[in-house]
Structure 1
């Protein structure tokens, strides 16, 4: 079967409103609704706008619950990534399907304890809670096999089926020139558009589309650096997992991988944690060579003895 036929069989995203309001996390033993209910009875803050705020640890975070006790959002200290409860969605690849009620969005600034009292938070939560506008996960799925082209108001193709390209950053996929805050400039390369390496895919989703600041070089700073290794060691965000401890993961986390046969080798690939498939396997959405672009089926799994499971190094929450 040729590449076009194979890719046409792949990803479809189905959004089904199910009335489920609990967030689908990586491990049922760490279900936030159950943890939040315990925390609310032993030390949650007073109601603010009809919500209660419970502080939890490992990693330090605030869980927002409604008067009914249903989880509304989880905000992690040092991270702008927020997981909100919303309608159930099923993401499908050729060899996997992930159903989740987690909707991943970026807050205007990194979270910290007590930030629910900040002026920006109430209006932001009011707009984000219950919204079904495309979130980080929906945006990421717009580049998988068979995804239709999406163009902005100028006619620029900003989404659609992406191929894998070694060294291809987000601007190569777009085929446009780009100037970064750290002074790095990339010339337009429309002839080589449509491709992404693993870091370029993350930068396209979180940076160009979702608005997280980007850097042109692999340096520490206020933005996401260019390479996977620099994202893991120099980049912003909250470290979530090193080694084992996968129960701490939540959808949208950055996952870092190295060569599975060389445990001490540097990180060489990055992907997004998508959630659990129907068999309870943790699925990684990453642009990879064998799949010729972003995919989460087949070997893209953190469990077992496959390449991703053996090569997993760490996770970070932006």
Structure 2
């Protein structure tokens, strides 16, 4: 099969019904949002020119911990957040529901849309032309975002292929069992899911494992969503280049993005963070789960935000579920409380 450097064609969001007994998402536009949901054209350009000063109905404001710029509407509600040093941005938009009835009663209803800026945010970037062009294109847009990409690999997600016949969407698995029949293979990356060789920016080409087609481990899942689909730069491994590294530990310790919750306490286990309210939808989460791995983070996930019961929920590719999930099998997918994953949560990064 020929080497490929690009991604397949990514189609715009399609409104899909919730499949019974599967994990997917529904797109909902409530009646009260039909008239209120803003469009890109509704933002007065003066609001983009004048940071911190009200213009029209929008106001820019600077906040700390982490340093960021937020855009508020005429009622003072934050409608967009941009963090210094990060490309991840959250924009308010139509409400969507994410659920996985086969494995959990958890349901996330959110109006957050998570997207990548073309370059890291800096103070005053709202005055720059690149941002004005980006904001005009994506504020109010229903084009696939990070959350849409993430749920295109959960159980029940329909398969989609590009013009070359490569499946780039559809149910993903974690990976095959090891010979012991108990544990599953790790080190399964996004090109294993695709089943094609992939050439990285540094010229290194990686080839897929034939037995891991349509599979990704926890960090491979993040690279599939943020890298291959959303086009965040990727490293071929943990050491070379300036993109997102290969493993959960290397991601947690890398200089990319912004550490919104830093590793604290003595290694190798560190300590559970006390304040997790700083998290923003789309943040990368890291967990210390295995004493055998020494001073390493062992699991990674994507933060979704609060569910309908107020619990902080994430999605990740897990061995117990054999693929991406927000389910309860092997531990409830929550960061708050004293559950399995909550007690092992250690740090977070905003790309």
CA distance in structure 1 between the aligned counterparts of 2:163 and 2:338, rounded to whole angstroms:
45
For residue 76 of structure 1, what is the aligned residue in structure 2? 83
By how many angstroms is 1:177 displaced?
Answer: 0.2
How far residue 167 of structure 1 moved from its aligned partner, in angstroms, is 1.3
Task: Give the helix-richer structure, 1 or 2.
Answer: 1
Q: What's the counterpart of residue 65 of structure 1?
A: 72
Asked if 1:12 corresponds to 2:24, the answer is yes
In angstroms, what is the RMSD of aligned CA positions?
2.4
Q: Report the Cα distance in structure 2 between the residues aligned to 1:278 and 1:249, rounded to whole angstroms.
A: 17
SS in 2 for 1:250: coil
Deviates more, 1:297-306 or 1:117-126: 297-306
SS at match of 1:201: helix
Q: 1:297, CA displacement in angstroms? A: 2.1
Matched, 1:168 2:185: no
8 A Cα contact 2:290 2:298, kept in partner: no
**2:305 aligned with 1:275:** yes
Structure-2 separation of matches of 1:151 and 1:217: 26
User: 1:234, CA displacement in angstroms?
Assistant: 1.6
Pairs within 5 Å for 1:1-318: 9-18=21-30, 19=32, 45-47=52-54, 51-94=58-101, 95=104, 96-165=106-175, 166-219=186-239, 221-242=241-262, 243-259=273-289, 265-298=295-328, 299-318=332-351
Where do 5+ consecutive residues of structure 1 fail to align?
A: 1-6, 23-39
Determine if contact 2:62/2:69 at 8 Å carries over to the other structure: yes
1:138 to partner: Cα distance: 0.7
Number of residue equivalences: 293
Bigger mean CA offset, 220-229 vs 136-145: 220-229
| Contact 2:92–2:113 (Cα < 8 Å) also in 1 | yes
Distance 1:309 1:269 in 2: 12
What is the CA distance between 1:162 and its match in structure 2?
0.6
1:246-302 superposed Cα distances (whole Å, 9 cap, x missing partner): 101111100001117799742011110011112111111000000110001211111
Shift of 1:244: 2.3
Answer whether contact 2:317 2:323 (CA < 8 A) is retained: yes
Distance 1:98 1:260 in 2: 29
* Distance of aligned partners of 1:8 and 1:154 in 2 relative to their CA distance in 1, 3 Å threshold: farther
- Which one has a larger percent strand, Structure 1 or Structure 2? 1
Structure 2 Cα separation of the partners of residues 207 and 56 of structure 1 = 28
Q: Which moved more, 1:159-168 or 1:47-56?
A: 47-56
When the two structures are superposed, what TM-score results if normalisation uses the length of structure 1? 0.86
Give the TM-score, by structure 2 length: 0.78
Say which one has the larger Rg. 2
Deviation at 1:152, TM superposition (A): 1.9
- For residues 245 and 272 of structure 1, the distance between their equivalents in structure 2, rounded to whole angstroms, comes to 18
